[in-house]
Structure 1
Amino acid sequence: MNRSTFLIILLSVVIGLASCNSEQQTHPPKTLLVSFDGFGHNYLEKTDTPNFDALVTNGVQAEGLIPVFPSKTFPNHYAIATGLYPENNGFVNNTMYDPKWEEWYRIRDREAVEDGKWYEGEPIWNTLEKQGLKTGTMFWVGSEADIQGMRPTHWKTYDGDMPGKARIDTVMKWMANAGDETVDFATLYYSDVDSKGHRYGTDSDSVKQAIKRADNLMGYLKEQMKEKGLWTNTNIIIVSDHGMVDLSADKLIRLDEIIDMDNTERVNWGPMTGIQPKEGKQEEVYQMLKSAEENYRVYKKEDLPERYHLKNHRRVEDIIMVADLGYTILDEDYQEDFVESLPRATHGYDNNEKAMQAFFIAHGPAFKQGEKVGNFQNIHIYELINHLMGTEPAPNDGSLDSVKVLLK
């Protein structure tokens, strides 16, 4: 080999290494989004949580994460995924009726849950996949449906019985395995804290044990990420969808004692109760509710406060009742069953209530360390993830400026 040939080969190697280093430097770190359903903003104060505490010490924590209204699971998970308020993404409640289609969406109706027509806007996994990145969703609202004719590279049909560690193991395989389907962005979801809160109340031993189990899962996640070389170069965002408030059997609002139920076409029960009056009965129903307004507020759909970002969608009923914190709206048929089975806590109330705020922790190369910031709305997380992944967001209601305080 002559000197000229050697120099050419050497130069090619140097250029190749420089190119590889450049690609490593410009390729964004992976992102993992984790949700613990029903984990209130103050739940870390209820028991020992060494693994969460370590994430807080080495990352950034918000004083609270403000949910969209209603503060329910499906509207908030889909708002986080799309950066859109309910009136702009179609998810106005866990249960909703579409008058155009004359169809119901219920969270336990698998056919509806997996039907992409209910999901408006563009979820984060679609945004990333459209721009050449791979995604994997271990249970997230919307990820089981063919939204825009697309799905994540990897996704799972919801299975509440799947063990927590098994969920982590599967996501770690998606994120760490070499190949064309190695994911850049993934999600994890857990419902344990929420279900124990509903059944036993926010200060119960069962909730405290559920918080500890969540903490143990974070310890296991860290261990597995370190083992697979993901810990130092992955941005982790840990959220919840809403808080929780305790209920009482003496905080009841009997709708059938205020209005004639025969004047209603349908009622969608909850802390936010939607009433669809029969044709010609709207004003009568509204005036009866307004005259008895106590421990709730009542609105015609068009008069809903702008901050609810709810009134501009056909799936919202013509009259909306919003119960005061801790109150339950029901009728005679439901009251006896409610009092006997009395769920100890619930959510769905005004998202301005502190008790409805969720929690937020972020850890990784993009985030500040040992910082605590003020609360912010969860719709901004979509913009945040796009920033972390170096992708262009679809039109949304969020703002990166609202969460820049989290970043280094």
Structure 2
Amino acid sequence: MKKYIASLLLLALFCQSLLAQDLSQQIEPGRQNSIEQTKKPYVIFISADGFRHDYAEKYQAKNLLALREKGVKAIAMKPSFPSVTFSNHYTLVTGMYPSRHGIVNNSFYDPKKGQIYVKTDPKAVKDSTWYGGVPIWVLAEQQKMLSAAFYWLGSETAVLGVRPTYWYNFNNRIPMDVRIEAVKNWLLLPEEKRPHLINFYFPEVDVAGHHFGADSKETAAAVKLVDDCVGEMVKLTKDVGLEVNFVFVSDHGMTNADNTNTMTLPSIIDEEKFIVPNGDALLQIYAKDKKNIKPLYRSLKKEAVDFDVYLTNKMPKRWHYRAKDNKDGRIGDIILIPRLPKIFNLTGKPTTIGKHGFDNEMPDMQAVFYAWGPAFKEGLTIQPFENVNVYPLLAKILGLSFDHKIDGDIKVLAPILK
């Protein structure tokens, strides 16, 4: 009986925790499009997490293959370093390298705050003080253009005091058809209440790639799901009678790693002297006392067999991830990067086979970029480009001006516009 009662109590607590997660749409009150903005184009900006540059061909994503032929396809899109989810999703909406917008990894330490940012910590994710730059929805709202987001890093917090007009707290419990229906409902709103920018995020391909690998039937099924949903989204825009521009991207690619013979934290790293957030494709080591950096670096260089060791001021320039780029000191003093198929595993628990976060020039790390709609040329294939250039493209299509400094340049993607 005691066990039964305890089980009921645990179940009740679990149900209360689920109820505490607000699954409903959040609406910022008192906003509407200015008369000028009601005349502007519409953009649906879609990210399929972990959708490698070759997945559409590899898994015959029929809708995406057809849609990109009616618009623009890049051979690949180069993610920013490190090629991880949080860093690159925030780069895509700010036009800034991770070292400059501040989300330098999925998990990292801020010595000024004395805190570790962890992607699984809702409190950190919703704390606006971690986020730099001006997200594209903030730019839109500042200029009296309404925006919406069905999941996107940064949309749950008020960056610069501003959220999208319509947004959702991230969770995996809202069915996909409900998410698609939300997009339709946004587009059916009266023009003064209708968002001109919609951010939409798919996690499924990344999840399948991590757990089953890039070449698995599960990843193929996840690609098909995303492809079907994109097809439905295009159909609904026709049903509501609106001409909409679509930009379909991913944050990074995926590769298979050796998840059996993993590396632990090198024993010569004294955790009394150094802070090391969890990681597998990138370890950042933060010294509590800077005098300990050089001795540890020299020792690690001697010991390193299956990983490379960098001082922050000696990182490859092309990564834009050096000491001079180091916003708020969030990049570690020493960086360890495993040599594939090797990866780090600091927890000692089983880890997944699919990984990313590696050198952003690796073929398997390359992301996808397709765009179609009235703003874009048709039947155009372009060379690979850096993902920092998507932000000025979105601003250009939406007719939004900005004068703050970014790393992207509209000149890179201007030729794809009509």
Structure-1-length-normalised TM-score: 0.88
Tell me if 1:99 matches 2:111: yes
CA contact (8 A) 1:31 1:185 kept: yes
Q: Which residue of 2 aligns with 1:343?
A: 352
Q: 2:249 aligns with which of 239, 248, 258?
A: 239
Q: Which residue of 2 aligns with 1:108?
A: 120
Pairwise CA distance, 1:38: 0.4
Q: Which amino acid aligns with 2:88?
A: N
Query: Is the alpha carbon distance of 1:25 and 1:143 closer, same or farther for their aligned partners in structure 2, counting shifts above 3 Å?
Result: closer
- In structure 2, distance between residues paired with 1:26 and 1:129: 13
CA contact (8 A) 2:188 2:240 kept: yes
Q: 1:327 aligns with which of 342, 351, 376?
A: 342
- In structure 2, distance between residues paired with 1:26 and 1:342: 49
Q: 2:241 aligns with which of 213, 229, 246?
A: 229
Three-state SS of the structure 1 residue aligned to 2:198 is strand
Tell me if 1:31 matches 2:46: no
Unaligned stretches of 5+ residues in structure 1: 1-22
- In structure 1, distance between residues paired with 2:281 and 2:56: 26
5 Å-filtered alignment, 1:218-367, equals 218-230=230-242, 233-249=243-259, 252-257=262-267, 259-262=268-271, 264-268=273-277, 269-279=279-289, 280-311=291-322, 312-313=326-327, 314-331=329-346, 334-335=347-348, 337=349, 341-367=350-376
Further displaced range: 305-314 or 155-164: 305-314
Three-state SS of the structure 2 residue aligned to 1:255 is coil
5 Å-filtered alignment, 1:20-99, equals 27-99=39-111
Q: Which residue of 1 aligns with 2:205?
A: 193
Q: Deviations over 1:1-26 (max 9, x none)?
A: xxxxxxxxxxxxxxxxxxxxxx9999
Three-state SS of the structure 1 residue aligned to 2:248 is strand
Q: Which amino acid aligns with 2:155?
A: S
CA contact (8 A) 1:84 1:396 kept: yes
CA contact (8 A) 1:373 1:405 kept: no
Q: Which amino acid aligns with 2:356?
A: H
Pairwise CA distance, 1:405: 3.0
Pairwise CA distance, 1:292: 2.9
Pairwise CA distance, 1:264: 4.1
Pairwise CA distance, 1:50: 1.5
Which aligned runs of 4 or more in structure 1 are off by greater than 6 angstroms? 23-26
5 Å-filtered alignment, 1:81-230, equals 81-230=93-242
Q: Which amino acid aligns with 1:274?
A: Q
Structure-2-length-normalised TM-score: 0.86
CA contact (8 A) 1:263 1:277 kept: no
Q: 1:392 aligns with which of 401, 406, 409?
A: 401
CA contact (8 A) 2:259 2:353 kept: no
CA contact (8 A) 2:310 2:336 kept: yes
- In structure 2, distance between residues paired with 1:200 and 1:347: 14
- In structure 1, distance between residues paired with 2:416 and 2:369: 11
Larger Rg: 1
CA contact (8 A) 2:311 2:335 kept: yes
CA contact (8 A) 1:32 1:235 kept: yes
Q: Percent identity?
A: 34
Q: Deviations over 1:216-265 (max 9, x none)?
A: 111111221111112xx2110000000001011466344325x2434642
Query: Is the alpha carbon distance of 1:391 and 1:155 closer, same or farther for their aligned partners in structure 2, counting shifts above 3 Å?
Result: same
Pairwise CA distance, 1:142: 0.3
Three-state SS of the structure 1 residue aligned to 2:47 is strand
- In structure 1, distance between residues paired with 2:390 and 2:60: 27
Pairwise CA distance, 1:179: 4.8
- In structure 1, distance between residues paired with 2:341 and 2:178: 36
Further displaced range: 162-171 or 59-68: 162-171
Aligned residues: 377
Unaligned stretches of 5+ residues in structure 2: 1-34
Q: Which amino acid aligns with 2:337?
A: V
Q: Which amino acid aligns with 2:314?
A: D
